[in-house]
């Protein structure tokens, strides 16, 4: 039996149709960020992995609707999607293959429902987003969109009871991760009409939007990118307490995600103003090293806590 089918069994997902739904969502989640998907597959306890897949796939499907196509079409598509999700939450059932596994995961992890509601309340923030005037605008975006989206998955790893401190640490982490993504994806976002660095920072460095769009290697663009990466690095370092606030079975995954972001930061720093032409790619060897190290830690945690077996690194999908 494949590791994935064993994970579905361990999560109590028995109905053939529902297993098919989770399998389709696994494929969606795996396409988005392969390294994060592999980390979750290898490092999470088997009973939890399919539920993380369902929440991740819901987040990515929603994000794709918000980001893809002309504004009017996006608004119409997302509006229909939001209504369908709300109907599913109200009825406890849905005909949509993304919503069905989400509802099943809410049944298994009821705390997720509130986070889905939180996300739906503010997700439209991303619909007409084109950039920020100030750092304060960026922080408002984190609160309105990035954090609620991240909490869809993070809540499944979090502690029982009061999660105030955990949520605050999640916010610090997603602030860092979002900064890294925005700097690393500058070229792609500019091509899509989105300037993801605050305009006040461009003015401070004497840089224009055209300088960025034309990928000009100037002292100002170098200073702008270096400052953005420095801020991301400081924020990522400040997120380290998150690894101690997550219950032990989830710590290997959280450490791996932070390590992946560190690898991306290193690659982006080396690339510098060339980020205006294409994103940096983190070291594959480094990423493999992270997975091997944390896989060993996850196996030790599983033996010590009885949290559930982890995927065999040699197993098929």
134 & 124 share domain: no
What is the chain's alpha carbon radius of gyration, rounded to the nearest angstrom?
20
Which of these, 293, 262, 270, 267, lies nearest to 282 by C-alpha position? 267
Maximal CA-CA distance, the chain: 60
61 & 23 share domain: yes
Structure tokens belonging to residue 244 = 């101690």
Q: Is residue 309 part of a domain?
A: no
Q: Is residue 313 over pLDDT 70? A: no
**304 pLDDT tier (thresholds 50, 70, 90):** very low
Domain carrying residue 159: 130-294
5 & 100 share domain: yes
Per the structure, the count of domains in the chain is 2
195 phi/psi in degrees, rounded to 5: -105, 115
Cα separations in angstroms, 305 against 44, 96, 186? 13, 36, 43
Predicted pLDDT at 303: 47
Residues near 192 by beta carbon (within 8 Å), at least 6 away in sequence: none
The residue-averaged pLDDT of 280-301 equals: 93
11 & 139 share domain: no
Predicted pLDDT at 302: 67
111 & 141 share domain: no
154 & 213 share domain: yes
Contact present, 43 and 252 (Cβ < 8 Å): yes
Q: Residues of 59-90 as b/e, b for ≥16 C-beta within 10 angstroms?
A: bbbbbbbbeeeeeeebbeebeebbeebeebbe
Q: Is residue 305 part of a domain?
A: no
- CATH number for the domain spanning 99: value is 1.10.600.10
Q: Lowest mean pLDDT: which of 67-81, 178-192, 239-253, 276-290?
A: 67-81
The residue-averaged pLDDT of 290-296 equals: 95
Structure tokens belonging to residue 155 = 């809540």
135 & 101 share domain: no
pLDDT in tens, 173-221: 999 999 999 999 999 999 988 999 999 999 999 999 999 999 999 999 9
Q: Is residue 304 part of a domain?
A: no
pLDDT in tens, 107-150: 999 999 999 999 999 999 888 788 999 999 999 999 999 999 99
Q: Is residue 283 part of a domain?
A: yes
134 & 59 share domain: no
**68 pLDDT tier (thresholds 50, 70, 90):** confident
**278 pLDDT tier (thresholds 50, 70, 90):** very high
135 & 114 share domain: no
Q: Is residue 262 part of a domain?
A: yes
Considering the chain, what percentage of its residues have pLDDT values greater than 70? 95
Predicted pLDDT at 228: 98
100 & 204 share domain: no
Q: Is residue 30 part of a domain?
A: yes
**305 pLDDT tier (thresholds 50, 70, 90):** very low
Predicted pLDDT at 8: 96
User: What is the overall mean pLDDT for the chain?
Assistant: 93
185 & 285 share domain: yes
Structure tokens belonging to residue 297 = 């830690």
pTM, to two decimals: 0.92
Q: Is residue 222 part of a domain?
A: yes
149 & 100 share domain: no
């Amino acid at each position: 039996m494949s590791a994935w089918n064993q994970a579905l069994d361990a999560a109590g997902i028995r109905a053939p149709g529902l297993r098919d739904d989770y399998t389709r969502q696994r494929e969606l989640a795996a396409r988005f960020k392969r390294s994060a998907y592999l980390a979750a597959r290898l490092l999470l306890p088997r009973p939890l992995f399919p539920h993380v897949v369902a929440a991740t796939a819901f987040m990515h499907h929603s994000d794709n609707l918000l980001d893809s196509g002309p504004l009017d079409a996006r608004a119409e598509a997302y509006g229909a999607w939001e209504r369908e999700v709300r109907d599913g939450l109200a009825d406890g059932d849905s005909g949509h293959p993304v919503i069905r596994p989400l509802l099943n995961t809410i049944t298994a992890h009821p705390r997720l429902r509130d986070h889905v509601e939180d996300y739906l309340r503010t997700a439209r923030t991303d619909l007409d987003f084109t950039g920020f005037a100030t750092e304060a605008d960026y922080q408002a975006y984190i609160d309105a969109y990035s954090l609620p989206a991240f909490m869809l998955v993070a809540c499944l790893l979090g502690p029982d009871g009061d999660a105030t401190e955990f949520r605050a640490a999640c916010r610090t982490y997603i602030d860092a991760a979002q900064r890294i993504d925005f700097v690393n994806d500058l070229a792609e976002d500019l091509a899509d009409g989105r300037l993801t660095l605050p305009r006040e920072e461009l003015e401070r460095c004497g840089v224009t939007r055209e300088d960025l769009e034309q990928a000009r290697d100037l002292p100002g663009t170098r200073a702008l990118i270096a400052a953005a990466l420095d801020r991301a690095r400081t924020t990522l370092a400040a997120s380290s307490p998150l690894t101690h606030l997550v219950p032990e079975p989830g710590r290997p995954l959280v450490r791996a995600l932070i390590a992946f972001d560190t690898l991306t930061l290193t690659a982006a720093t080396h690339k510098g103003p060339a980020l205006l032409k294409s994103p940096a790619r983190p070291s594959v060897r480094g990423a493999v090293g992270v997975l091997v190290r944390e896989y060993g830690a996850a196996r030790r945690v599983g033996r010590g806590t009885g949290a559930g077996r982890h995927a065999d690194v040699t197993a098929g999908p």
